[in-house]
Structure 1
């Protein structure tokens, strides 16, 4: 039995001897050579593909891998293009939306400027009217101060109360008192009350 075991060991030893003395060192030398060539700048992968493409069975595998890689690149590029197209469409929509907002704001600015111009014109016209009305009232007040007191009292009693009060404000105190004296007592009392309320 021991003899059978020794014969099996002797048969196994040549295989192990071949593995450890030839195959393993060969693989180590090849790996070391590839590393050295790659470090020195030699395109080992390109050389292997070119050499492999001339070998019949290996060339089919390399061309199939190449086609798959190109198809994957093409699909990736098409997806990227589609994404960019959708992004461009979204940006164009945002631009058109912002342009319409800008147009609306410009129209609103024009309206506000027109309203401001119209408001300035109206206020200047209003100020002009007030000034001319005040001038007219002052002129009438000076006319009433020169007029006979009884005639002035009769005219006041037939005029609108607001206008009478406005004229009374511009009359001198003594002329105002003489006109009130010439009026009927009830009308004089009413105009006096309104005049006092207006000046408060």
Structure 2
């Protein structure tokens, strides 16, 4: 079943909507069946897992690898770039659009959230009232274990997000950022040419070519 355009438009509008729409629930149920099958694949069933991933996600790039189990509200609203790797327990609250750029690495137990509920108490009494804002992750990003990314966030290319961070605002490209809330700690620079972590020096064959 293809998700009706009316349903997709509703989820991507940025406005408050009800998630108990009949067409929406039917489409989501089919996605949940695909997700169940994906997570139930055996380690030796790589071809089957790849076929299911291509049916489940909005796109699934060449060489991409998502370790089961993956948890998702939809799956089809998440677009996975080439050679993306995600460790186990990736959680996608993907009623809104999630874009993950090529060569990005995602640690275990990462949560990407596109959806929230109104602050106004009377609207929140109805638990099916929600809004969704897109999350965009650039290319060659490294997201550490247990990171949570909130609705509407964009993370720039090459950026490193430290473990256990809460990313509530955009992060630029080419920085190291961490914390709750997540803040830029420093740019990626000359020190990183020679050291891969703290005072541990990079040795051949991993030396960068001369500038």
TM-score range, shorter chain: under 0.3
TM-score (norm 1): 0.18
TM-score (norm 2): 0.18
Higher strand fraction: Structure 1 or Structure 2? 2
> Higher RCO, 1 or 2 (CA under 8 Å, sep at least 6)?
2
Q: Which structure: larger Rg?
A: 1
